[in-house]
Amino acid sequence: MEEFVQQLTNGLAVGSIYALIALGYTMVYGVLKLINFAHGDLFTLGAYLGLTLLTSFSLQDKMGPLAAVGLLAIMVMGLVALIGALLDRVAYKPLRDSPRLSAVVSALGASIFLQNTVMLIYGARFRVYPQDILPRTVIDFFGMPIPLMRILILLVSLAMMVALYTFIQKTRIGTAIRAAAIDQGAARLMGINVDRVILIVFMVGPALGGAAGLMVGLYYGQINFTMGWVYGLKAFTAAILGGIGNIPGAMLGGLLLGVMEALGAAYISIAWKDAIAFMVLILILIVRPKGILGERVAEKI
């Protein structure tokens, strides 16, 4: 029982990280019908920027751990959002009217480019996050010790997801995003500035991805320049699992995938941990390509 709860909470923490990344895929897909392959690398960039800011300012000495991490998160999210917007302008905007698969190749190129930029700047080896930023408290949960970090990650990501959901559902900009996702042409005729909507999507998604990168750094303590690819693929699987283009779907898919992976690694085989996500991906695309909650069907030709 204890192992089960440990794996479950671990899966939920990792799953909420997947969910945060998946939101970026799903939002871009919703509006542009483009799989932004470079999204995983924006996530990596978030992790590395977090490390740089953390070690260069040493904020935790000046303002206490929680406030420091909060401020750090805001800075990382802002920077990654800017890079996301820049990426759209450089790699995707010139291709708006080209065949969609050109944009996919451009996205792959952007992914390779970003990943190698990180490698050339920070080196190819694993980098270690300072271990003493957040206290390694363990709280007692019905007699079972659960690391505080897991609960924090889960709570913070849930808060971000709720904030995003409210933003999409209740604000004027959110309404514009939803309209552009349904029909760009009609949205344009209704006076919505679709270009601005796309820009916002390319800032919000990467900001969440950057936050997820910071969380991975804080949770696992080490980061690598290639990690964006694996996390990106898993988050993309999560987005498809929930139904791509569907925001609650991405959240559900992320949590579900995280739990499946943690339980699979614990009870089936740890060696197959990474394969589980890919098998889920292939199965879902064969059996139910529109995902659990999705309305947007993976078009068949």
Partner 1 sequence: MMTKKKGLAAIGVLIFATFPLWMKYVRPDDVRYWVDVINNVGLYAILALSLNVILGDAGMYNMGHAAFYAVGAYTGAILNTQLGVPILLALPVAGITAGIFSAIIARPVIHLRGDYLLIVTVGVGEILRIALINDVFGITGGPNGIFGIARPEFFGFKIKRPDHFFYLIWGFAALTLFLFNRLKQSRFGRALDYLREDAVAAEGSGINTDRYRLLAFLLGATWAGMTGSLFAAKMTIISPESFSFWESVVIFMIVILGGSGNMAGVILGTFIVIALPEVFRDFASARMLIFGLAMMVMMVFRTQGLLPPKPRKFNLPKLAEEGE
Binding site for partner 1 (CB under 8 A): 35, 90-91, 94-95, 98-106, 108-117, 119-120, 229, 233, 236, 269, 271-272, 274-275, 278-279, 281-282, 285-286, 289, 298-301
Q: How far is the CB of 132 from partner 1 (least distance, A)?
A: 33
What are the structure tokens assigned to 174, written together? 């959110």
Q: How far is the CB of 227 from partner 1 (least distance, A)?
A: 13
Q: How far is the CB of 2 from partner 1 (least distance, A)?
A: 28
By beta-carbon proximity to partner 1, the closer residue of 117 and 169 is 117
By beta-carbon proximity to partner 1, the closer residue of 12 and 241 is 241
By beta-carbon proximity to partner 1, the closer residue of 100 and 196 is 100
By beta-carbon proximity to partner 1, the closer residue of 161 and 244 is 244
By beta-carbon proximity to partner 1, the closer residue of 126 and 278 is 278
- Enumerate residues 6+ apart whose C-beta is below 8 A from 78: 207
Q: How far is the CB of 233 from partner 1 (least distance, A)?
A: 7
What are the structure tokens assigned to 40, written together? 């995983």
Angle, CA of 123, 59 and 203, to the nearest 5°: 65
Q: Are 280 and 237 in contact (CB under 8 A)?
A: yes
What CA–CA distance (Å, rounded) separates 62 from 73? 16
Question: Which stretches within 58-193 are classed as H helix?
Answer: 59-63, 65-87, 100-122, 148-170, 172-182, 184-189
What CA–CA distance (Å, rounded) separates 214 from 191? 37
Q: How far is the CB of 229 from partner 1 (least distance, A)?
A: 8
